[in-house]
Structure 1
Amino acid sequence: MAATAHAPSRPAPGAPASTRHFSTKDRILGAAEELFAQFGFTGTSLRQVTSRAAVNIAAVNYHFGSKENLVNEVFRRRMDDMSAHRLAALKAAVERSPGELEPILAAFVEPALAIAQDKHGGAAFVRMVARAYAEKNDSLRRFLSDHYGHVLREFARAIAAAVPELSKEELYWRLDFLAGALTYAMADFGLIKRPAGVTEAAHRERAARELIRFAAAGFKS
């Protein structure tokens, strides 16, 4: 992607070029994630992003080219890592516990809940995911389907092998419900709040166990 006529914001003098470019790009992504979580995708302007990131509009154009691409890249920087963890955990679960449903569901649930614990923007990303469910954004949905649909298909195949009596339609309905329940659990919207004296990590582990048990019962019924 070619740079615009105006140079992007200048990095600190003396820093290596690769580090400086990463720093500017990462600041933009972090600012966009926070603003998209707070105001939504249509409710956030590029001017707000540049102000929050302390860069000029040319820096956004240089690194992303458009607001649509910026939205996609905000998702990509966390979804790539989460997808890799999910697929690695799925492979291990199938090899270690062939035919068992719960380890497959754990491979799907636990990497997502781990993001919610990330102190560096995890909460903002979770709120942004909730926004993606609530707002009609065909471009974003197409991007997510094109880049991460294969992950859901891998899990669908594994679940189908563990619960062969389910029809394909039933399987995808229940997988869709699991994804919705997981998003709800990640956002911590529910009635069950973290008790005093219980760490965030322990609370998330409990949430994962309960969701896996709940989902397993739904797939097996």
Structure 2
Amino acid sequence: MAAVAPFSTKDRILGAAEELFAQHGFAGTSLRQVTTRADVNIAAVNYHFGSKENLVNEVFRRRMDEMSARRLAQLQAALQQHPGELEPVLAAFVEPALAMARDRQGGGAFIRVIARAYAEKNDSLRKFLSDRYGHVLRAFAKAIAGCVPGLGKEQLYWRLDFLSGALTYAMADFGLIKRPAGLSEAAHRERAARELIRFASAGLKAETN
């Protein structure tokens, strides 16, 4: 039987960086700490990433590329199968994110990295995220606007921002409602998604002044 290939050097560096960024933040983590955790030398980091800034970006890209692709595929299906219905559009935004958060291969650490991105002022990271994933938010904004035509653009983006905050909170599992004994993680995640979708739907449909 063939041996299972070990994680590549690049994967080890990314995993180590993700854990350290979650614990200490971006500014508080040095490349030396990353190389020690990953058991590589600094030349390996320079070879694969070139700089700490690029390493930070890659930590986000390896998680968010897949999540964004799933979101857009589910959104396309929702628009085709449930035209004009808001909740399937919201499900396409919420469900892939919650699934990523519950990924046993580092999903929890990445959610803490996202929290760091909110807490720390990192203009280069925010620009990277906007440039690379802004089209995803715009696609959802367009789809939601089609479902709630009376909502103005500014109000739409305010409410989308609130939805994103609530989703991040749910992803981090900070809430008062913990998974009951005997309920699987998958079932608990489905319940969280269902309640958040209903909550967001009501908020997006709320009357405007």
Q: What SS does the corresponding residue of 1:192 show, helix, strand or coil?
A: coil
Tell me the TM-score normalized by structure 2: 0.95
Letter in 1 for 2:106: G
Tell me the TM-score normalized by structure 1: 0.90
Unaligned runs of 5+ in 2: none
Letter in 2 for 1:89: Q
Q: What SS does the corresponding residue of 1:147 show, helix, strand or coil?
A: helix
- What is residue 167 of structure 1 aligned with on the other side? 152
Does residue 158 of the first structure (1) align with residue 180 of the second (2)? no
Does residue 189 of the first structure (1) align with residue 174 of the second (2)? yes
The offset of 1:114, in angstroms, is 0.3
How big is the alpha-carbon RMSD for the aligned residues of Structure 1 and Structure 2?
1.2
Mapped to 2, the partners of 1:126 and 1:37 lie a distance apart of: 8
Mapped to 2, the partners of 1:183 and 1:42 lie a distance apart of: 22
Matches within 5 A, 1:17-96: 23-96=8-81
The offset of 1:172, in angstroms, is 0.4
Deviations 1:162-188 (A, max 9, x none): 000000000000001101100000000
Letter in 2 for 1:198: L
Q: What SS does the corresponding residue of 1:86 show, helix, strand or coil?
A: helix
Does residue 98 of the first structure (1) align with residue 80 of the second (2)? no
Letter in 2 for 1:140: L
Mapped to 2, the partners of 1:206 and 1:128 lie a distance apart of: 24
Mapped to 2, the partners of 1:152 and 1:36 lie a distance apart of: 25
The offset of 1:100, in angstroms, is 0.3
Mapped to 2, the partners of 1:204 and 1:179 lie a distance apart of: 17
Q: What SS does the corresponding residue of 2:8 show, helix, strand or coil?
A: helix
Deviations 1:47-100 (A, max 9, x none): 110000000011000000100000000000011000000000000000000000
* 1:202 paired residue among 174, 187, 197: 187
- Identity fraction in percent: 81
Mapped to 2, the partners of 1:136 and 1:194 lie a distance apart of: 33
- What is residue 217 of structure 1 aligned with on the other side? 202
The offset of 1:195, in angstroms, is 1.1
Mapped to 2, the partners of 1:87 and 1:198 lie a distance apart of: 29
- What is residue 3 of structure 1 aligned with on the other side? none
